[in-house]
Structure 1
Amino acid sequence: MLNLPRHLRVTWHWLLAFMPVSAFATPVSLPQALVAAQGYSAELSASRHQINALENRAESAMQLPDPKLKFGIENLPVGGSNDQRFTREGMTMERIGIMQDYVSSSKRERKAGTLRAESRQVAANGQSIRAQLQRDAAQAWMELAIGNETVKQLQALVDESQRQIGVQRGGVSSGSALPASVLDARLTLISMQDKLTEAGRDVQLARTRLSQLTGIDNPEILGAIPPVSELPAEATQADSISQHPEVLQARREAEVAQAKSSESAIAALPDIGVEVYYARRADNYDDLAGVMVTVDLPLFTASRQDKDHAADQSMAMESNDRLAQLVRTHQAQLTTLLAQYQAASTLWQRQKNDVVPLQQQRVSVIQAQYRAGKSNLNDVLEARRSLLDSQIAVRNAELDVARYWVALRYLAPQENN
């Protein structure tokens, strides 16, 4: 380990203490954030492992059961003059054999089909997880990007107000301004600083959320904000509902239920077991060999296998009904989401294009009046505070648009180039 002189260590610690946080920031673009979130997700990794497990089980289900080794002693006397003697009774023999159960290939194929259907169901669930991850990461990235811009705007207003309060204090010293005006101005400034602190808090929360999703320490925005004012093409595609991951997952669940129904439909097919054995007897007797066959006898299918099949059929019909209901629900949700996006976009454009320019003009007019001696500093600060409130309203409106845009853009998981 490198040992530095004490005065150098102290200097290094002070440099670290006063080094800006941005020096340790990691620039992240929106596509990079989406990729990082998917790579960092333990839930998505678990889904991939589950798919691999089901595929392996499906391959195993196609195989016959392992053969069985059977050995032992048959017909050992337990009484009389030959009690517990192995070689005096002609029927006593040491027996060894191999037994193999033969399960119908149709049964094995349908069991494997059920497992593969379950694998596709898990894969659909993985797509749903991916879509949710992309929505969450994109939303956190948007909140951080929009929040950073808002903080810069608010900071500029607060700095200018602080500067003018300093000038006003000089006026109090010279007798050209009343002390009460400075106190009023400071109260107005504190209110503006509170809004700035809240905006900074929101930025830090968004950064923490993005770091939690992506595993990137202290992420910082890289690149421009996507054009959220334009409706995503994914929301207007004819098959947007059918390709929704939750709908695909419900469809896969229905396929699993149908596969189980197909599996139980042939449950009454009998399995066959074949045993080949060799039996050694005493020296004075001939050895024996034989073949034994066992066959299942499904004599009561009406109260057993048929009942199971009827239950599986009902489950399949239930899954189809749930799928139909889910499609209707998502269609209504998409219509609602589009209406919310359009309304939020209209409010945002009105705030950005009408309200903020008017507030900026008002600040300019009052500042001109202040320089001409026709208004006081409090009027200027109040105008700035109104502008600050309008900028916060623009930020909130843009965040609403961004949230709806993200929800529409990532209805289904998107591949990032």
Structure 2
Amino acid sequence: MQKNTIYRALAMVSLMGLATNSWGSNLPANTAHKPSSLNTLINWAIEHDVAQQQIQFQADTISEMGVANSQLMDPKLRMGVNGLPVDSFAFDEDPMTNISVGLMQQFGRGNSLSLQHKQSQQQAGSVRKQADVRRLDVTQAITSAWIELAYLDQSYSLMKQNQALFRELTRYLSTNYGVGVSQAQDLIQAELQVSKVDEQLQSNRQMQQRLRAQLSEWLGEQAWQVKATTYPKWQALQDYFTNSPRDHYQALAAHPRIQVTDELIKSSETGVELANESYQPQFGVEVMYAYRQADRMDGSPAPDLVSAFVTMDLPLFTEKRQDKKLSAAQHQVGAARTQRDLALKQMHAQVSAAAIDRDNIEQRLVRYRSMLLKQAKEKTQAIERGYQNNTSQLDEYIRAASEELAIELEQARLAADLQQANNTLAYLLNKY
């Protein structure tokens, strides 16, 4: 009698769990506000990203300073008195005395000014490419958090269904225990299972709140209203892998991180050109006008004087200056190119690792869907039948139901891991 009563309770609980599942799937996620899509959130975050504004300010600073540094030096004004006698300090006593005014202008060394402007624009371009890297970083971070929230939402639903089943079972056992039908250990076991699920649900809510707190860095207050119910489609990524690329270097070369190093290489090569210009002489021009008040010895007025000079430095001793600058600039080019090659190799290895993870996760998911979950459900059903026939105990059914839930959660975790692998690939290949 006791076994049959509890079995009927289990059957009723199972039906209620299915009804709860069906009702929950038809319930709208948010009847008050329509939740924003992932793409909408990403676009909003990028548009309001303060870091990108900072990058643009830095690029504009470098560009403007490059324009300023590529101009000719300001002319110098020279004023003074020449040949003033110290005994009288008279301007009209000695014909050699004059008041002079001059202008001096120094020119750039070779083609160095235009090269400095070119290099500054390349450096500014490299900084602006970092804005593209930042956009990808924001996209990856928000997508990753969205995937985790979708997984936590799915696992929360699974655990709530399991909790509802065991709560209903606990009520039946408590009622039957009161009339002497159920055993104390069965009731305690069911209550313990409810407490375990409560703990799992609390942990799930904590992780969801933490993820939304992290999303607030990019989304502000709307992060707390994010409702992630579906995973991304990855259409661009799927189209890329459909073509079965032999390697990924061509796609990686277009990545903003690599384009940043490309601009640095160009800037370093311009630095070599600038170092070569240091072997050129630097010219300057000076023009002076001297006004005289004294007369000549024959009494006629002394004429004013005009002087003109051309200055030129002579880079004769280049071993410790120009040669070292050129060598340093050449080493800088080598360092920039090595940095690019290293970044390509690292990113290619990351793509290969993520692709391997994705393939293996897909194979594991097939196993979960076709075998493990099916076997777990069959085991639970078999124990229910055994309990009906007095060949199994209630704790066996609880363990089987818990194991079935664990397998469902593992499958959900694998599905989320597959999405995270796709997210990594989309970031590295720039295929969002």
TM over 0.5: yes
Alpha-carbon distance, 1:406 to partner: 0.2
1:359 Cα deviation after fit:
2.6
2:257 is equivalent to residue 249 of structure 1: no
Query: In 1, are the aligned partners of 2:252 and 2:429 still within 8 Å (CA)?
Result: no
Name the structure 1 match of 2:64: 56
> Is residue 96–residue 278 contact of structure 1 (8 Å, CA) maintained in 2?
yes
Give per-residue Cα distances to partners, 1:215-274, cap 9 Å, x unaligned.
Answer: 334141267322469963446555222223333333322222211111111112222222
Query: How many aligned residue pairs are there?
Result: 392
2:116 equivalent in structure 1: 111
TM-superposed deviation, 1:283: 5.7
Q: Is it true that 1:294 corresponds to 2:311 in the alignment?
A: yes
More moved, 272-281 vs 350-359? 350-359
Question: Which of 17, 25, 36 is matched with 1:28 structurally?
Answer: 36
Q: How does 1:182-201 map to 2 (within 5 A)?
A: 182-201=187-206
Whether the 8 Å contact between 2:112 and 2:274 is mirrored in structure 1 is: yes
CA shift digits 1:290-329 (9 cap, x unpaired)? 2222222212123321221122112212332333333333
Matched residue, 2:226: 220
1:174, 1:87 → 2: CA distance?
A: 135
Residues 352 and 197 of structure 1: CA distance in aligned 2, closer, same or farther (over 3 Å) = farther
Which has the larger displacement, 109-118 or 400-409? 109-118
Mapping for residues 15-414 of structure 1, pairs under 5 Å: 27-77=35-85, 79=86, 81-82=87-88, 84-104=89-109, 106-215=111-220, 216-221=222-227, 224-227=230-233, 232-234=238-240, 239-282=250-293, 284=295, 285-367=302-384, 375-413=392-430
Following superposition, the deviation at residue 182 of structure 1 comes to: 1.0
Paired AA for residue 59 in structure 2: I
2:110–2:281: 8 Å Cα contact kept in structure 1?
no
Runs of 5+ consecutive residues of structure 1 not aligned to the other structure: 1-21
TM-superposed deviation, 1:408: 0.5
User: CA 1:346–1:231 in structure 2 vs 1: closer, same or farther (change >3 Å)?
Assistant: farther
Shift of 1:366: 3.9
Amino acid at match of 2:337: N
Q: 404-413 or 90-99, which moves further after superposition?
A: 90-99
Call closer, same or farther: CA 1:288–1:188 in 2, change over 3 Å: same
Superposition deviation, residue 202 in structure 1: 2.1
Read off the aligned partner of 1:334 and give its amino acid letter. V
Letter in 1 for 2:418: V
Q: Give SS of 1:100's match.
A: strand
The percent of aligned pairs where both chains have the same amino acid is 20
Report if the CA contact (8 A) 2:155-2:409 is conserved.
yes
Which secondary structure state, in structure 2, belongs to the residue aligned with residue 241 of structure 1? helix
CA distance in 2, matches of 1:396, 1:127: 31
What is the Cα deviation at residue 165 of structure 1?
Answer: 0.4
Q: Structure 1 residues 152 and 223 mapped into 2: Cα distance closer, same or farther (>3 Å)?
A: closer
The answer as to whether partners of 2:147 and 2:228 remain within 8 angstroms in 1 is: no
Separation in structure 1 between the aligned mates of residue 236 and residue 330 of structure 2, nearest angstrom: 46
User: Deviation at 1:24?
Assistant: 9.5
Shift of 1:153: 1.7
Checking the alignment, whether the CA contact within 8 Å between 2:110 and 2:280 is kept in structure 1 is no
Label 1:39 to 1:106 Cα distance change in 2 as closer, same or farther (>3 A).
Answer: same
C-alpha distance in structure 2 between counterparts of 1:24 and 1:220, whole Å: 13
Q: Give the letter aligned to residue 58 of structure 1.
A: G
